[in-house]
Amino acid sequence: AQSVTQLGSHVSVSEGALVLLRCNYSSSVPPYLFWYVQYPNQGLQLLLKYTSAATLVKGINGFEAEFKKSETSFHLTKPSAHMSDAAEYFCAVSDLLTGGYQKVTFGIGTKLQVIP
């Protein structure tokens, strides 16, 4: 089964600084990878996804992530943090089960704090 490791349950950055949220996965085959964001008191929404096309994936709100197979990583970045980016971010991997169905496994999440 797939697993996802998010390094750092809390990350603080200054407004305007680079955002880097780390995600590593375990997989013996190329996976499908996702980043979701959760704002306070809301459900999760998709930021971006990797599905074996381009290794650099662009998402909403200026976020992007790079798939690095050699490092089994899918880190999320944004060049300049905004106050509105304060939220919890989840990395997820899709696991192909017997029968062709896919199960999605989530990391523990990283809470991003943006300091004015």
Residues in contact with another protein by the rule CB under 8 A = 6, 9, 32, 34, 36, 41-46, 49, 51, 90, 94, 96, 100-109
Give the pairing type, strands 10-14 and 110-115: parallel
* Cα torsion 43, 82, 109, 18: sign: positive
Closer residue to another protein, CB minimum distance, 18 or 104: 104
Q: Residues, the chain, total?
A: 116
List Cβ neighbours of 43 (8 Å cut-off, separation of 6 or more).
Answer: none
Nearer to another protein, 43 or 116 (CB): 43
Name the token pair of 27: 């997989």
CB of 55 to another protein, least distance (A): 15
Nearest-approach distance from CB 10 to another protein, in angstroms: 11
- Closest approach of Cβ 19 to another protein, in Å? 19
Q: How far apart are CA 103 and CA 105, in angstroms?
A: 7
Contact between residue 80 and residue 18 where contact means Cβ atoms under 8 Å apart: yes
Min CB(80)–another protein separation in Å = 26
Question: Which of residues 97 and 115 has its CB atom nearest to another protein in the complex?
Answer: 97
**Is the CB of 62 or the CB of 106 nearer to another protein?**
106
